[in-house]
Amino acid sequence: MQHIEIIVGSQMGSAEYVAEQLKEALQDQGIGVALHEQPVLSDIIHPIWLVVTSTYGAGDYPDNLLSFISELDQQDKLDQIQFAVVGIGDTSYDTFNFAAKNCSQLLVNKGSMQLLANLEIDVLDDALPEDTALAWLPLLLEKLPQSE
């Protein structure tokens, strides 16, 4: 069975809600999912990651993601990881989706393989963030390796 680790960075709850919707949709596809709202690297056992994060303040990571990002930064390499990132932000800020962009760049710098370009959701759009993410999900499913 395919497994995806969903890593959530959420300050106000919107990224958490999107992650929960993605989890349900993935499970409906027969994919095993673990949702990490307080992510710790040693708890994340499967090599396929979906990071769903908002950006907080002046382009910062949400508080619940800070220690996880620090753990990632201390790793020499993470070349066994394949990942995708969903960023949720507000285009009225010049730091739009910086947490998502910085996270994907950190993972690439550590040797991880990005499965597809970041999905950057703008909360100012008419569509609900979870609807945008669910519409994007088939693109991710196409990129998943057939077996682990």
Give the residue carrying structure tokens 């095993």: 32
From the list 105, 101, 96, the residue with the least C-alpha distance to 73 is 105
For residue 147, the model assigns a pLDDT of 54
Q: Could you tell me if residue 75 is inside a domain?
A: yes
Q: Could you tell me if residue 34 is inside a domain?
A: yes
- Whole domain around residue 85: which residue ranges? 3-143
- Count how many domains the chain has: 1
Element (H, E) at 85: strand 82-89
Q: Could you tell me if residue 148 is inside a domain?
A: no
Q: List the chain pLDDT tens, one digit each, 148 residues.
A: 799 999 999 988 899 999 999 999 999 999 999 999 999 999 999 999 999 999 988 899 999 999 999 999 999 999 999 999 999 999 999 999 999 999 999 999 999 999 999 999 999 998 999 999 999 999 999 999 875 4
Look up the CATH number of the domain holding residue 57. Answer: 3.40.50.360
For residue 146, the model assigns a pLDDT of 73
The Cα-based distances of 86 to 61, 74, 77, 111, 148 in angstroms read: 13, 23, 22, 19, 22
